[in-house]
Amino acid sequence: IGLQVSSGLQDLTLRDRGGRRRDFHDLGVNTRQAMVHVQESKTGFSGKMIKLTTNHFRLTSRPQWALYQYHVCYSPEMEARRLRSALLFQHEETIGKTHAFDGSILFLPKKLESKVTELFSRTRSGEDVKITVTLTNELPPTSPTCLQFYNIIFRRLLKMLNLQQIGRNYYNPSDPVSIPNHRLMVWLGFTSSILQYEESIMLCADVSHKVLREETVLDAMHSLHSQVGEERFRDACAKELIGLIVLTKYNNRTYRIDDIDWDNNPKGTFRKSDGTEMSFVDYYKKQYNIEISDWMQPVLISQMKRGRGNIQGSVALIPELCSLTGLTDKMRSDFSMMKDLAIHTRLPPEQRQRELGRLLTYIQKDDNVQKELRNWGLSFEYKSVSFTGRVVQGEKIFQSGTMFDYNPQFADWTKETRGVPLIRAVPMDSWLLIYTRRNYDVANTLLHSLLKVTPSMGIRMNKPDMIEVDDRTETYLRVLQQRVTPDTNIVFCILSSSRKDKYDAIKKYLCTECPIPSQCVLARTLSKPQTIMTVATKIALQMNCKMGGELWSVEIPLKQVMIVGIDCYHDTVSGKQSIAGFVASLNQPVTRWFSRCVVQSPGQELVDGIKACLQTALRNWSKWNKCLPSRIFVYRDGVGDGQLNTLVNYEVPQFLDCLKSIGTDYSPRLTVIVVKKRVGARFFAEIGGGLRNPPPGTVVDTVVTRPEWYDFFIVSQTVKNGCVAPTHYNVVYDTSQLKPDHVQRLTYKLCHMYYNWSGIIRVPAPCQYAHKLAFLVGQSIHREPNLMLSDRLYYL
Amino acid sequence: MDKNFQEEFTQIIKFEPPLYRQRYQFVKDLVEKYKPKKVADLGCADCSLLWMLKFCRCIEVLAGLDICANIMKEKMHTLSPLPVDYFQPSERSLTVTLHHGSVAHKDPCMLGFDLVTCLELIEHLEESELKKFPEVVFGFMAPRIVVISTPNCEFNALLPGVKLYRHPDHKFEWSQAQFQSWALEIARCYDYSVEFTGVGQPPTGMEKIGFCTQIGVFVRKYPQTGESVQSEKPTEAVYKTVFKAVYPSLKDEKYLQNAVIREVIFTAQIIKHRLMSKREEYSDDPERKSKSQSSMDCFSDYLEKLVVEKNMEPFVSGNEVYIPLATIFSFPKVNRLCGTFEKLCKLIAGKVTLSSDGSAVMFNIEHENEEN
């Protein structure tokens, strides 16, 4: 009915692909102006100076540069965009050779003689058309429209360099890396964005890798069929394939698979734009000379989204003609695949900058590109920007009255704290250990190891109820129903395979119907004698946290503070549900966390649920502390590109509303910080003439931050290979009156508090907890867990 | 002709599919018929015809020529290879080149073509250019086949809104007689045969006004010109190349080698996977009882047969799995790519881990079960 087969390559327009232009860079969201205390300065001061370079390049324009925006209209009205362009550009002598035109808005680097210019053209059919070109705007280099325009021009340059667009980025197809073991191909490419930064307009360019799969969707279906068999085939296809991005064989467009139409096949027909019906087989033969070999395959459906998610018809695609791109979660969890990929995609700092340098050399050397830039009066500095950052001092780790320093180079205190009692060790008086017959030995080894490692931690552990089961999901559930008592501290399951349904069933039961912490471990993990002690130690710590234990702390100088973390999980499989994880600290040393989550159905706003979460969190905090917190910090993760405006205008007011509803005399200081892990910025420390990853604790709050925001970057973790990614923090609301330095320090401290990793992590612990919770619920439980568990880290 | 009748007609003359599409289809049909290897489109404009032709599998060289570089550049990127061309390089080689220049000038890059198309080109030529055109195309380029299309002005009366010419840039529009006499003269002069046809059927009862677009198909009567003749021709290049794309092809050793390595490793992986899962069948997991493979999965049947017939069984020894190259070679895809066993060995030498005697692909399975 509304089906439409993909057309050819869309040419360059001022609109983003998919029709409506989206503001991916959150331009025009000016949050800093409302925060008086950071008007003058938003920079911190503590720490040692460090010399940094980055992947930003200054864009320069000639003096008094401006971009002229014109509105173009036609009389009589012309519909087709191509015709409109053709008619307009019959007047190149007036308009000039350099222009950008999307059908109605025209950008020129020069001002036309008069404000309104009338031009006359004739169509092929001899019709006379009057074109009126009216100057509507003279844009200064820093205006948002102008910035968008720079980005369009830059993409045009990449196209001129013969790079290929896949999705949002451009890739170099001529030198692909093939990884035959996994049927993957990696293309090197670039991400680019041009933005107004603190002092100047800069290009932020980064190396990007596109993983292409040599398999077609049909290949993937075949291998799924052989894996799961006939009955589960369709479900498995839906699970594996829906949500994936495919690249069509015959043109260079990407589509998201939204549905699979099992009732259709290539012999089916669709309505072409001219209204005639044609079968897929005939269409592909006629149009692309492609013979579809499998006539029984189903047809993939991709929705065409325009504007605010309004569905505007769908496209039908043939599995055989679609290759898969990107990685699925299943592939990501394939250790050997990720290892093989990392060799090619994790570039160390020096190499990363070298690849970027190559791009800039292409730009510099290509005559056409240079000509285009010259015509617009623009140029780039080909040396990346350098500046000074700060490395704040490492935190002291406290554990049961002992204080530790960690080696800042590794950002890890596993060794230092080994064998030291935990802050709060929860005894394991009554617990279950469930295993299959095959894993009897493994279960015993584990038990011995746990008995060996727990005493030094201060964990009292009794012998568990050892329960042997056969490896059926129903058996596990039956055993749980029969053997779990209200006194059970924790349930330990040794699973023999990583089958998700079994894991999901156990977790679902123990998180909802029968709220008891649980620990599932694969037998494989426990089967190596040389690592069993390390594994047992980690498991003991994790179980202790799940039962409400506390491991270590750092010094938090603020009093009466509640820290909140929020992250979202979007279910790509069913495509409908989103889950927001919400955690909030319960005590002064921020070692205990309250948690809830919001399961959001389509069309429902997330904020309503979050408001309810905040209310319960405050109630619990006051129960624990006998008063309400006087400061609240919200670390909000999971905010997509272009969603900042919504967050600032809807979510923050809801937080304030919620606080107001607690009581008229209650007005705590609130700070809302948007946390972003996926940023294009990379920093390199200039050490000994070479480029290295900056050490953990590196704070950047100048040059590459945005003038309209109160924002900063922190590099908090270390990486073994590749480049470390800084995390971007954007304080969008702040009545704390704290100095930026203190907000930065607090943020960094919180990166030390994630109990599943005795080291510093990439985001503040509450964000990672919220992520873990949302992931567990989204992947396995699909509804809000029992609130009985809400004061423990059961989701670790 | 009844004036009223004619006016009535002007209201409804509309071609379906549009005329330009019919012209392209005409060329495509011609390509299907004659299977030319080298095709040039003179006056290629926005490269639409070239884009359609790149899907024709017989074509190995595609060239476009236009007097306006900007219009070619507008969509020339559609002529670049696609991702799939890189990971499934095709058997044929294909080079697409765009030249900026005039049909009134000779350039050696236009020599040796099998088919040259000039759709709606000649009517845009100035008188001086039109004069040189036959010598450049038929005398110099001298391809086996030339296709020339141009408006038939006798049809204009039926087209709404057409006063003098169909397009303001047209320098002339010819009647059937004018076009045919011009074409016949060229054919005679350069030893070609010519047949006339067209697209855009006239309405019933008005057949004598002819097709809306008239087409002449010229076929060279003499055989391929020898080297000696060509060497007399000027070799000075006057066209400017604005675009060139060389498609990955299996004829290129580099791509062939990659394709073979990929296919060998992939095939070996599948065999290994089957072997390992068979070994695991004795587990105590009742849910994993190996279900009988479905009909869709003919691979395992094939493998069974192979092992039984030829005794080329893969085997495990210690931490290593060995899959004989002979087994891998017997798979149709690998076989087709390499042709001979020797070629297979040569192509994968040093790129795939083999057993010490080089007869089998070797995998180490020691770290297989490691996880993060």
Q: Per-domain residue ranges for chain A? A: 67-139, 141-262+298-379, 425-547, 554-789
Task: Assess whether B185 and B258 both reside in one domain.
Answer: no
Q: CA-to-CA distance for A290 and A317, rounded, in angstroms?
A: 14
Mean predicted confidence (pLDDT) in A114-123 = 88
Asked whether residue B238 falls in the same domain as residue B262, the answer is: no
Of the residues A81, A125, A211, the best mutation for testing chain B's interface (the one with the most B CB atoms within 10 Å of its CB) is A125
Indicate whether this model's pTM tops 0.90: no
Q: Is B89 in contact with B65 (CB distance < 8 Å)? A: no
Q: Is B372 inside a domain boundary? A: no
Sheet of strand A727-734, all strands in order from the earlier edge strand to the far edge:
A593-600, A578-585, A561-570, A631-636, A669-676, A727-734, A710-715, A698-700, A386-391, A48-54, A683-687, A690-692
Q: A763 or B225: which carries more pLDDT confidence?
A: A763
Given the residues A118, A127, A605, A608, the one annotated as active site: A605
- Is B369 among the domain residues? no
Over residues A211-230, the mean pLDDT reads 86
Distance CA B283, CA A247 (A): 40
Q: Does residue A2 carry a pLDDT above 50?
A: no
Q: Are A633 and A608 in contact (CB under 8 A)?
A: no
User: Does B222 reside within a domain?
Assistant: yes
Count of domains observed in chain B: 2
> In Å, how far is B81's CA from the nearest CA of chain A?
8
Q: Are residues B146 and B217 in the same domain?
A: yes
- What spatial distance separates the first Cα and last Cα of chain B, rounded to whole Å? 86
Q: Are B325 and B232 found together in one domain?
A: no
**Among partner residues A166, A226, A335, which is closest to B296 by beta-carbon distance?**
A226
* Sign of the torsion formed by the C-alpha atoms of A767, A769, A772 and A775: negative
Three-state secondary structure call for residue A680: coil
Q: Are A348 and A721 in contact (CB under 8 A)?
A: yes
Residue A260: the pLDDT is 92
Q: Which helix (H) or strand (E) holds B262?
A: helix B253-279
Q: Is residue B164 part of a domain?
A: yes
Tokens (6 digits) for A42: 């938003």
Give CA–CA dist A517/A200, Å, rounded. 53
DSSP assignments along B226-258, one per residue: -HHHHHHS-----SEEEEEEE--BTTSHHHHHH
A451: left (phi over 0), alpha (psi -120 to 50) or beta: alpha
Q: Select from A317, A335, A333 the least CA-distant residue to A245.
A: A317
Same domain, B38 and B128: yes
Specify the range with the lowest mean pLDDT, choosing from A11-20, A127-136, A282-291.
A11-20
Q: Do residues B314 and B203 share a domain? A: no
Whether A637 is catalytic is: yes
For residue B269, what are the domain limits?
A: 253-281+301-364
Residues of B in contact with A164 (CB under 8 A): 80, 82-83
Residues of chain B with pLDDT under 70: 1-12, 225-235, 278-312, 366-372
Same domain, B158 and B261: no
Which is the catalytic residue, given A206, A550, A567, A701? Answer: A567
Of B77, B285, B294, the CB nearest to A225: B294
The first and second tokens of residue B220, run together, are 């060279």
- First-to-last CA distance in chain A? 47
**ipTM, 2 dp:** 0.74
The DSSP H or E segment spanning A350 is helix A349-365
In this predicted model, what pLDDT tens digit does every residue of A331-349 receive, in sequence order? 887 787 888 888 888 889 9
- Which has more confidence, A398 or A227? A398
At residue A472, φ and ψ (nearest 5 deg) are -110, 145
- B8 lies in a domain? no
The catalytic position among A637, A701, A711, A741 is A637
Residue (of A571, A533, A586) closest to A781 by Cα position: A571
User: What distance in Å separates residue B207's CA from the closest CA in chain A?
Assistant: 23
Q: Look at B87 and A496 and tell me if their CB atoms are within 8 Å.
A: no
Q: Which H or E run contains B362? A: strand B360-364
| Token pair in block for residue A359 | 């791009």
Tokens of B152: 């038939």
pLDDT digits (tens, 9 = 90+) for A556-586: 999 999 999 999 888 765 556 789 999 999 9
Helix axis angle, B253-279 to B341-348, nearest 10°: 90
Report CA-CA distances (Å) from A322 to A6, A22, A89, B83, B263.
12, 26, 37, 11, 19
CA distances to A428, A521, A725 from A442, in Å: 20, 11, 39
CA distance A452 to A206: 48
CA distance B320 to B323: 10
Distance of alpha carbon B363 from the chain centroid: 40
Phi/psi zone of residue A343: left (φ > 0), alpha (ψ -120 to 50 degrees), beta? alpha
How far apart (Å, rounded) are the C-alpha atoms in residues A680 and A25? 11
CA atoms of A632 and A121, how far apart (whole Å):
64
Within A141-248, residue ranges assigned H as helices are: 144-160, 217-228, 233-241
Count of other CB atoms within 10 angstroms of residue A675: 24
What distance in Å separates the CA atoms of residue A693 and residue A482, rounded to the nearest whole number?
54
Of A57-61, A166-170, A371-375, B138-142, the range with the lowest mean pLDDT is A166-170
Out of B87, B299, B300, whose CB is closest to A185?
Answer: B87
Residue A769 and residue A793 in contact, taking contact as beta carbons nearer than 8 Å: yes
Asked if B197 and B82 sit in the same domain, the reply is yes
Give the span between the Cα atoms of A760 and A170, in whole angstroms. 34
Residue B339 domain flag: yes
The distance of Cα B284 from the centroid of its chain, to the nearest Å, equals: 55
CA separation for the pair A576, B149 (Å, rounded): 55
Instruction: With beta carbons less than 8 A apart as the criterion, state whether B306 and B327 touch.
Output: yes
Higher pLDDT, B231 or A717: A717
Tell me the mean pLDDT in the region A237-257: 85
Lowest mean pLDDT among A118-122, A194-198, A503-507, B283-287: B283-287
CA–CA gap between residue A722 and residue A542 (Å, rounded): 29
Report helix angle B253-279 to B299-310, nearest 10.
90
Determine the pLDDT at residue A20: 39
Q: Hey, CA dihedral for A776, A778, A779, A785, is it positive or negative?
A: positive
Mean pLDDT of A25-37: 88
Among the ranges given (A106-115, A152-161, B40-49), the one the predictor scored with the smallest mean pLDDT: A152-161
Which H/E stretch holds residue A700? Answer: strand A698-700
> Mean pLDDT across the stretch A223-238?
86
**Position A605 confidence tier, pLDDT thresholds 50, 70, 90:** low
Q: What are phi and psi of B270, to 5 degrees?
A: -65, -45
Are B291 and A11 within 8 A, CB to CB? no
CATH class belonging to A554-789: alpha beta
Q: Do A524 and B371 lie within an 8 Å CB cutoff?
A: yes
A567 classed as catalytic: yes
Q: Is residue B119 part of a domain?
A: yes
When CB atoms are compared, the residue of A180, A522, A525 closest to B261 is A180
- B344 with B241, same domain? no
Mean pLDDT of chain A: 87
* CA dist list (Å): A185 to A165, A351, B172, B351: 16, 20, 53, 16
Asked which of A15-19, A485-489, A551-555, B357-361 is least confident by mean pLDDT, the reply is A15-19
A223 contacts A277 by C-beta, under 8 angstroms: no
Closest CA to B39 of B95, B85, B78: B95
Q: Both tokens of residue A240?
A: 């594996």
Whole-angstrom distance, CA of residue B218 vs CA of residue B194: 4
Domain A425-547 has CATH 3.40.47.10: no
Contact A423, A400 (CB under 8 A): yes
The rounded distance, in Å, linking the Cα atoms of A235 and A671 is 45
Q: Same domain for B160 and B259?
A: no
What CATH number has the domain spanning A67-139?
3.30.70
CB contact under 8 A, B17 and A274: yes
B75–A9 C-beta distance less than 8 A: yes
C-alpha span between A85 and A711 (Å, rounded): 42
**Residues A304 and A17 sit within 8 Å (Cβ to Cβ):** no
Position A286 confidence tier, pLDDT thresholds 50, 70, 90: confident
Residue A94 and residue A526: Cα distance in Å, rounded? Answer: 77
pLDDT at B10: 46
Nearest to A229 among B161, B294, B372 (CB): B294
Sheet of B115-118: strands edge to edge?
Answer: B192-199, B213-220, B145-151, B115-118, B38-42, B61-66, B95-100, B240-246
Task: Give the whole-number percent of chain A exceeding pLDDT 90.
Answer: 50
Report the C-alpha gap between B330 and A136 in whole angstroms: 70
**The pLDDT value given to residue B189:** 94
B66 and B112 both lie in a single domain: yes
Specify if B155 maps to a domain: yes
CATH code of the domain containing B82? 3.40.50.150
CA distance linking residue B276 with residue A719, whole number of Å: 34
- Chain position carrying tokens 């030390």: A752
Contacts of A181 in chain B (CB under 8 A): 265, 269
Residues of B with Cβ-Cβ distance to A251 under 8 angstroms? 78, 82
A710-726 average pLDDT score:
92
Query: What contacts B159, CB < 8 A, 6 or more positions away?
Result: A125, B10, B13, B166, B212
Question: What one-letter code names the amino acid at A359?
Answer: L
Tokens of A342: 């990392």
CB contact under 8 A, A124 and B283: no
Angle CA(B189)–CA(B191)–CA(B195) in degrees, nearest 5? Answer: 100
